Structure 1
Amino acid sequence: MRRRLSHQDAGALPSCSSSPEASPCSCALHHRCLCWSCCCLTSRSRDQACSRRDSNMSSLGSLQRTDESGRLSLTEVSSWALSFTALMESPAGRRIFMEFLCSEHSDENMLFWQACESLKTETRRTAIGERAKQIYLDYISILSPKEVSIDATVRETINGNMAAPTVHIFDDAQAQIYALMHRDSYPRFLNSLLYQSLLQSLGPISPTSNT
């Protein structure tokens, strides 16, 4: 589900360099990693994970857990409805939002955003060039099945800078995709069965929990 953009918005995950066998695809409820580098996500693992979306709600218990804290709290989950920033700053929030994006066939947006965040942590010049090229091939190239929707001006600028890429080469495109997720996917996520069922499974929200 890709929608063309007419304007930009700003916004801003740690990365990992795990192998494909430890793919962090958060489309799968039984994920192995909360570290979100798309560079180690293979097309095969992405497709296999997305194919399990129809059984998501039967595995609600696994959504209630995180590898770091053991269990989600109602306070944390309800805070995701307060702002998109709160959702994106939560490792568990990103994981569950990714599950929703996968069900809508728009997970390339989060994967691209995360790949850009990962690129920004790179300090070696040769590695920057290699990772930038891979991101370009995966998400910017018009030949990619995971191409993200960015405007023509931003795409042309990226094309012109690929000869000597920096860690900020995709900043404008990343901002547009962040804005697209915020404007388009986030409201639907909050109203989705996935999020609402997770909220209900954690218990009633107290009158002061959303203040």
Structure 2
Amino acid sequence: MENPLLLFPQLNISASKDKSYYKVMNSTNKEETNKASKPGAKQKRNRLSLLLQKSEFHEDDHLGKPANLKKAASVSPEEAVKWSESFEKLLSQKAGLDAFTKFLKTEFSEENIEFWIACEDYKKCKTAHELLPKAKTIYETFIQKDAPKEVNLDFHTKEVTSQNIEQPIITTFDAAQSTVYKLMEQDSYPRFLRSDPYLNLVKGRNPSHPALRRRSRSFAVNEFQDVRSDFTIW
């Protein structure tokens, strides 16, 4: 039997043309698919511009907040000098109270100033109905045995305060607050005035950033010398 391609040579030509046609079509389809999947130069520029705008927006938003906080919490050397006049003067100014609180945190004794602040807030109660819940919260937080932020009180002061907690009055914590106040005034306050961040602030310099140093909760006088601290407000 004769080869059908010899009898019908046009079949072979047609087949070749079909193969070439399919190759060209496949190549064209792939190019169009690739073009469709890849963004054009204009589209790329639009996307890049959008990303840059978002990045700048978040960066400005992020950087703006610390700058605003720093500006709001800035303290002049003249104002800082006044803090050395007396412990009462230091606590009477918000910036001074904040700075001293941060200092006590470096000594791990911030429970003392927190207790003092809580007592100040307690004395602002206007009705007897407000006294009981606040008194119990202060007692359970700062005074009772193994309280989470127990302050260092002598036995007599703690006993008197504990006995009065069931029927609290506006002066229930006065003795305890006075004791803690004197401890801070005689022990922590002098070290605060000798600390590098405070001295740098008085001289108008930038603060240093030394490591924290742990102190005993007993507030032993002169246990440590020249405690260095890190105040984020300076």
Give SS of 2:203's match. Answer: helix
Richer in helix (by share): 2
Evaluate the alpha carbon distance shift between residue 62 and residue 191 of structure 1 in structure 2; reply closer, same or farther with a 3 A threshold. farther
Tell me the residue number matched to 2:191: 188
SS in 1 for 2:170: coil
Task: Report the CA distance shift for 1:74/1:202 in structure 2 as closer, same or farther (over 3 A).
Answer: farther
Name the TM-score, length of structure 2 as normaliser: 0.56
Indicate if the aligned counterparts of 1:113 and 1:174 stay in contact, CA closer than 8 A.
yes
User: For 1:158 and 1:177, how far apart are their aligned partners in 2?
Assistant: 13
Give the corresponding residue for 1:34: none
Aligned match of 1:169: 172
Q: CA deviation at 1:64?
A: 6.6
1:75 and 2:90 correspond: no
Contact (CA 8 Å) 1:63, 1:198: kept in 2 or not? no
| CA–CA distance in structure 2, aligned partners of residues 129 and 181 of structure 1 | 27
TM-score norm. by structure 1 comes to 0.62
Within-5 A mapping of 1:20-35 = none
Give the Cα–Cα distance (whole angstroms) in 2 for the partners of residues 64 and 82 of structure 1: 25
Q: Provide the residue aligned with 2:200 in structure 1.
A: 197
Tell me which amino acid in the other structure corresponds to 1:177. Answer: V
What does 1:39-58 correspond to in 2, within 5 Å? none
Moved over 4 A (4+): 61-64
Change (3 A) 1:147 1:63: farther
1:197 to partner: Cα distance: 2.1
Equivalent residue for 2:96, pick from 93, 99, 102: 93
Give the structure 1 partner of residue 158 of structure 2: 155
**RMSD over aligned Cα, in angstroms?**
2.2
Report the Cα offset of residue 127 of structure 1. Answer: 1.6
Instruction: Give the superposition deviation at 1:145.
Output: 2.5
The Cα of 1:112 is off from its aligned counterpart by 0.2
SS of alignment partner, residue 100 of structure 1: helix
> SS at 1:169's partner residue?
coil
| Matching residue's letter, 1:176 | T
Structure 1 position 188, deviation (Å):
0.5
Over residues 115-138 of structure 1, what are the superposed CA-to-partner deviations in whole Å (9 max), with x where a residue is unaligned?
000000011222210000000000
Structure label with greater radius of gyration: 2
The count of residues paired between Structure 1 and Structure 2 equals: 141
Q: What are the ranges of 5 or more consecutive residues in structure 2 without an aligned counterpart?
A: 1-65, 207-234
The CA deviation at 1:85 is 1.5
Give the CA deviation at 1:184: 0.5
Q: Which has the higher contact order (CA 8 A, sep 6+)?
A: 1
Cα distance between partner residues in 1 of 2:76 and 2:120: 27
Distance in 1 (alpha carbons) for counterparts of 2:195 and 2:131: 38
CA distance in 2, matches of 1:77, 1:120: 28
Residue aligning to 2:137: 134
- With 194-203 and 124-133 compared, the bigger mean Cα shift is at 194-203
Question: How far apart in 1 are the matches of 2:194 and 2:152?
Answer: 24
Q: Amino acid of the residue matched to residue 149 of structure 2?
A: K
Q: Find the aligned partners of 1:132 and 1:182 in 2 and give their Cα distance.
A: 24
SS at match of 2:204: helix
Q: Deviation per CA, 1:56-90, whole angstroms, max 9, x where unpaired? A: xxx9x966743xxxx42221111111211211111
On the 8 A contact 1:98/1:110 being kept in 2, the answer is yes
